[in-house]
């Protein structure tokens, strides 16, 4: 009914009729024409401001009732036709109260406020095209004689039931609200997130799919584990076949227990992987094996930068820039990838309602676009994702990385539900389009893109890396390729069946004609390229000259890539504006680049082995290796790895806002500037062994906002300035040369109220006796947000150092834990016990020295030193002792401390169990000398060699006469 009223209202607005106040009357059965006339006279809907118009329309309450309802309050007017009654109020509060009242009446079929009518365009809803939901819906209703009803639970911020009036028969309010906002005993949405999730499921499924809303997140999108778990169990008890969880938090048993409960009840839990670009195994419910964990893709099928990864990821689906009519905007997140897969499963269960969790997972996995196909990239441009891919187009492979398995990022791939249903119905697969010209790199070749179409199919393709659909370009004839061309193609049959996607890249490079270059008067510089080829190889000699400088100007073409000869040593880009397309520079001899217009902004690939100074802004640069660079400043939002073996000074802002930087190799750097790594949100480890920086006030905010930083190795650093660690998540700081600091790590730890403080989340700082001053203080701030039922601690810092030093005094004064060095990190189980093989004494400390000992007694005090065994590793095969232990000495300037592996076990020498090792124990041994060990004398064999002899007595007397027998 809401749709009709809204349409009439909009019609009235379009006609622009000047209306008078609505005349008060209520006539059952009034003709629709009279109803329209009454609406035309209403003052409601005259505002041209959308927000005002929406509020005005919400003051008009429509009620469908089988009898005439009582009039609530004092409406300005009423009107009715058939069994629909409209009450128009002047205040928002009165209209809300009226809506509540009319909904409470047993005679009311429904009651709702009027609302503005919007065009239901889904904008750039590429998710439907990529997953094939439209085709699947049509196929489901024609190929399957019966379609089962499917219940989906959306456990989220609730659902805006008023907005989705057209779907009202498919929506149910569970009455569950476990959070601190919204309407009591109702899952009515007061945030919007749950409604957006529901919109995806509604528009991706048919009338057989019904959604029940459970509100567990408040108006700010927060909730607690107990409330979420309760709603998951309630949804399972309510008979939900699918439970969508577009939410997540730190790994916890409360949530996982609820997911297990739902699994046992037969519900299929689908959840978001998370948006931290981190390991999903640390998140709940994403880490559960009883849930399907979904990562996010962008329009091109590449992994979304924010999407979590790991072996827990089962599938991926569109999640970036999804358009929502509900909010009339686009939004991104794995929250929106999850309901796409939930909708796919709903379609699958409509056709095959008997499938369980494992069968659904296997069926979807069999019809996925593969991880390799989704990871497709255009030639030398690494995808917008965390893992690189080995280059197969003729460029140096070291520019790319294979840090993780594709499966860790894409799971089984992206399920295509239309293909899934057709295979379920035993229809044969459609052949993938076949390239007649193989993708790859070509030099001086006129390339054409051509396919070999199968009979009865049509091929659609894209050249911008977007995912191909029926809306893409129809292939009719070969396509000439004169520049970098990224191709994706798909085949469709006349009935709408589609193949999997074929992807390829064509990269034509041309040896430029020397006549297409202009030179300076002395022939030392190229001043312009006047040709028309987009990818060129510059000749070494032009008109008899060998230029050493180039001004990169191309008035007749937008260059995609340029390869310079080794003779070109310097290059100026002053006349080249910021590019709108990616750009390749391959310059093995280039030593210096000057740029006034950020010309590197779109550079995707750089081979500059001799460059000494490099200042770059780039969107596409992922990995950078500059073996000779001594001066670098980068503004590269997507840069993930930088290898700079000769960089000596990390200047102010050198890597500031390199949001994706994870790894840096700069072993010769001696100085870190201000804000050098500020906002490197994903930096996980930084090892800078030569950074000394004796002067203060030089590295303020250097690691500001490095939330993912786990390990910071600065063995030569002497001073740390104010705010060096502001917003840093550093967990381990190794700084044995540190003299003073004005900043300390500021880590925050959260955990359930009844749990102990998680020790592994503490920050660890390793210091030496050189440390003598700290102006920062440690205040363990405890925060207890009542609504979240969590506890938070800030500044949980543990110190490691040498006994009797300032580091120990500072830790004690500030209530922090102090651990003395050396510290044995891991001791093999057989250390100090019978063994054969390799032993490892792994310890932490400064200038550590090792000495191994062998003994036949179960003790680490009286062994024989093994000559030359001064490493952390011992190969025991060269010796005949029964036991081994290692003495490790920590050298901290003039201070030393020692620990030993193994144990001092006097108990085994106390033969008579009188609490002391003395002459009486030797006396007990003497009658058994030379005899084999039996149950009666086993305690006398203190070295466990199977015989009682002088060696046992020598152990007790601490003498060294092993091997002498009576």
Residues 6+ apart with CB under 8 A from 537: 443, 509, 510, 511, 512, 563
Please check whether residue 456 is in contact with residue 493, taking contact to mean a CB–CB distance below 8 angstroms.
yes
- For the CA atoms of 683, 684, 687, 688, the dihedral, rounded to the nearest 10 degrees, stands at 30
Q: What are the phi and psi torsion angles at 573 (to 5°)?
A: -120, 25
Task: Return the number of other C-beta atoms located less than 10 Å from residue 409's C-beta.
Answer: 25
**Quick one: which of 801, 797, 890 has its CA closest to 843?**
890
Give the span between the Cα atoms of 964 and 966, in whole angstroms.
Answer: 7
DSSP string, 478-506: -EEE-S-EEEEEEEEETTS-B---EEEEE
Displacement of CA 418 from its chain's centroid (Å): 28
Q: Determine which helix (DSSP H) or strand (DSSP E) holds 270, and give its type and residue range.
A: strand 268-272
Q: What does the radius of gyration of the chain's CA atoms come to, in whole angstroms?
A: 37
Joined together, the tokens standing for residue 32 give 């629709």
Please check whether residue 365 is in contact with residue 414, taking contact to mean a CB–CB distance below 8 angstroms.
no
Give the span between the Cα atoms of 213 and 161, in whole angstroms.
Answer: 9
Give the span between the Cα atoms of 132 and 149, in whole angstroms.
Answer: 20
**Residues with catalytic annotation?**
156, 193, 335
**Quick one: which of 555, 557, 633, 547 has its CA closest to 587?**
547
Q: What are the phi and psi torsion angles at 750 (to 5°)?
A: -120, 150
**Quick one: which of 408, 421, 336 has its CA closest to 374?**
408
- Strand ranges (DSSP E) for 919-966? none
Joined together, the tokens standing for residue 497 give 């069946």
Give the span between the Cα atoms of 716 and 720, in whole angstroms.
Answer: 12
Q: Is the dihedral of CA 942, 943, 949, 955 positive or negative?
A: negative
Please check whether residue 344 is in contact with residue 358, taking contact to mean a CB–CB distance below 8 angstroms.
no
Strand, coil or helix: what is 200? helix
Task: Tokens 């701030």: give the residue.
Answer: 781
**Quick one: which of 319, 316, 314 has its CA closest to 336?**
319
Q: Determine which helix (DSSP H) or strand (DSSP E) holds 366, and give its type and residue range.
A: none
Give the total residue count for the chain.
966
Joined together, the tokens standing for residue 375 give 């990871």
Residues 6+ apart with CB under 8 A from 917: 906, 909, 910, 956
Q: Is the dihedral of CA 807, 825, 757, 752 positive or negative?
A: positive
Q: Strand pairing partners for 852?
A: 886
Alpha helices in 584-663 (DSSP H): none
DSSP string, 208-258: TEEEEEEE-S-TTS---HHHHHHHHHHHHHTT-SEEEE---EE--HHHHHH
- Strand ranges (DSSP E) for 786-830? 790-794, 797-801, 817-820, 823-826
Please check whether residue 885 is in contact with residue 902, taking contact to mean a CB–CB distance below 8 angstroms.
yes
Give the span between the Cα atoms of 212 and 74, in whole angstroms.
Answer: 35
Q: Determine which helix (DSSP H) or strand (DSSP E) holds 369, and give its type and residue range.
A: strand 368-369
Please check whether residue 830 is in contact with residue 824, taking contact to mean a CB–CB distance below 8 angstroms.
no
Q: Is the dihedral of CA 388, 392, 395, 396 positive or negative?
A: positive
Give the span between the Cα atoms of 226 and 236, in whole angstroms.
Answer: 15
Task: Return the number of other C-beta atoms located less than 10 Å from residue 480's C-beta.
Answer: 10
């Amino acid at each position: 009914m809401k749709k009709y009223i809204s349409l009439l209202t909009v019609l009235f607005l379009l006609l622009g009729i000047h209306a008078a106040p609505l005349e008060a009357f209520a006539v059952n059965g009034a003709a629709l024409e009279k109803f329209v006339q009454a609406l035309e006279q209403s003052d409601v809907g005259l505002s041209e401001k959308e927000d005002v118009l929406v509020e005005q329309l919400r003051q008009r309450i429509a009620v469908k009732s089988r009898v005439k309802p009582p009039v609530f309050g004092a409406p300005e007017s009423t009107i009715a036709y058939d069994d629909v009654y409209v009450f128009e109020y002047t205040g928002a509060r009165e209209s809300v109260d009226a809506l509540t009242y009319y909904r409470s009446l047993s005679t009311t079929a429904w009651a709702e406020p009027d609302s503005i009518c919007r065009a239901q365009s889904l904008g750039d809803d590429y998710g439907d095209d990529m997953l094939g939901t439209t085709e699947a819906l049509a196929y489901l209703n024609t190929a399957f004689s019966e379609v089962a009803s499917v219940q989906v639970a959306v456990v989220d911020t609730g659902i805006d039931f008023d907005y989705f009036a057209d779907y009202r028969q498919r929506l149910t309010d569970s009455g569950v609200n476990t959070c601190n906002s919204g309407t009591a005993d109702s899952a009515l949405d007061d945030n919007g997130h749950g409604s957006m999730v529901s919109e995806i499921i509604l528009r991706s499924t048919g009338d057989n799919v019904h959604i029940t809303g459970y509100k567990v997140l408040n108006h700010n999108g927060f909730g607690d584990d107990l409330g979420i778990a309760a709603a998951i169990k309630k949804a399972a008890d309510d008979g939900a076949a699918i439970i969508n969880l577009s939410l997540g938090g730190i790994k916890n048993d409360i949530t996982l227990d609820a997911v297990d409960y739902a699994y046992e009840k037969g519900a299929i839990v689908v959840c978001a992987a998370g948006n931290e670009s981190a390991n999903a195994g640390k998140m709940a419910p994403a880490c559960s094996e009883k849930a399907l964990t979904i990562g996010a893709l962008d329009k091109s099928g590449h992994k979304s930068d924010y999407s979590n990864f790991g072996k827990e990821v089962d599938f991926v689906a569109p999640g970036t820039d999804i358009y929502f009519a509900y909010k009339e905007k686009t939004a991104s997140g794995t929250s929106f990838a999850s309901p796409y897969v939930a909708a796919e499963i709903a379609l699958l269960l409509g056709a095959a309602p008997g499938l369980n969790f494992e069968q659904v997972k296997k069926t979807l996995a069999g019809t996925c676009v593969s991880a390799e196909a989704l990871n497709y990239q255009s030639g030398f441009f690494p995808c917008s994702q965390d893992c690189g891919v080995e280059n197969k187009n003729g460029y140096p492979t070291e520019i790319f990385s294979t840090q993780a398995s594709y499966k860790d990022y894409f799971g089984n791939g992206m399920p295509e539900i239309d293909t899934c249903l057709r295979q379920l119905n035993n229809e044969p697969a459609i052949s993938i389009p076949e390239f007649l010209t193989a993708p790859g790199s070509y030099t001086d070749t006129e390339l054409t893109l051509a396919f070999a179409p199968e009979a009865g199919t049509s091929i659609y393709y894209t050249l911008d890396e977007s995912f191909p659909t029926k809306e893409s370009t129809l292939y009719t004839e070969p396509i000439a390729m004169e520049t970098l061309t990224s191709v994706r193609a798909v085949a469709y049959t006349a009935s709408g069946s589609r193949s999997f996607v074929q992807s390829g890249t064509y990269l034509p490079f041309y040896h430029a004609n020397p006549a297409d270059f202009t030179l300076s008067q002395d022939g030392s510089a190229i001043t312009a390229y006047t040709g028309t080829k987009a990818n060129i190889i510059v000749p070494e000699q032009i008109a008899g000259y060998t230029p050493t400088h180039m001004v990169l100007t191309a008035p007749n073409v937008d260059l995609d890539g340029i390869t310079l000869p080794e003779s070109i040593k310097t290059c100026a880009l002053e006349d080249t504006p910021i590019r709108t397309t990616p750009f390749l520079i391959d310059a093995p001899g280039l030593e210096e680049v000057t740029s006034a217009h950020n010309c590197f902004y779109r550079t995707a690939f750089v081979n500059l082995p001799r460059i000494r100074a490099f200042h770059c802004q780039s969107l596409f640069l992922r990995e950078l290796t500059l073996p000779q660079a001594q001066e670098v400043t980068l503004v590269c939002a997507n840069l993930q790895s930088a290898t700079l073996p000769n960089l000596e000074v990390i200047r102010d802002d050198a890597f500031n806002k390199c949001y994706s930087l994870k790894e840096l190799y700069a072993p010769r750097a001696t100085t870190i500037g201000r804000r050098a790594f500020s906002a490197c949100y994903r930096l996980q480890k930084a090892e800078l062994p030569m950074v000394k920086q004796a002067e203060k006030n030089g590295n303020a905010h250097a690691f500001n906002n490095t939330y993912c930083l786990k390990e910071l190795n600065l063995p030569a650093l002497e001073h740390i300035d104010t705010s060096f660690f502001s917003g840093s998540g550093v967990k381990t700081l190794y700084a044995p040369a540190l003299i003073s600091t004005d900043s300390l790590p500021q880590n925050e730890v959260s955990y359930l109220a009844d749990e102990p403080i998680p020790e592994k989340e503490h920050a660890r700082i390793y210091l030496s006796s050189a440390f003598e001053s700290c102006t920062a203080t440690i205040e363990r701030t405890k925060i207890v947000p009542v609504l979240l039922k969590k506890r938070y601690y800030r500044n949980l810092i543990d110190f490691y150092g040498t006994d009797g030093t300032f580091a120990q005094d500072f830790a004690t004064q500030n209530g922090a834990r102090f651990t003395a060095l050396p510290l044995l990190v891991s001791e093999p189980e057989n250390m100090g016990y019978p063994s054969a093989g390799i032993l490892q004494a792994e310890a932490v400390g400064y200038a550590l020295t090792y000495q191994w000992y062998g003994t036949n007694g179960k003790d680490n005090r009286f062994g024989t030193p093994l000559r030359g065994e001064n490493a952390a590793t011992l190969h025991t095969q060269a010796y005949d002792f029964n036991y081994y232990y290692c003495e490790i000495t920590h050298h901290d300037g003039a201070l030393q401390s020692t620990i030993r592996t193994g144990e001092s076990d006097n108990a085994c020498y106390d033969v008579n169990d009188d609490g002391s090792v003395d002459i009486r124990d030797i006396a007990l041994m003497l009658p058994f000398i030379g005899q084999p060990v039996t149950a009666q004398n086993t305690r006398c064999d203190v070295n466990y060699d199977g015989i009682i002899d002088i060696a046992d007595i020598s152990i007790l007397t601490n003498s060294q006469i092993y091997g002498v027998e009576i």
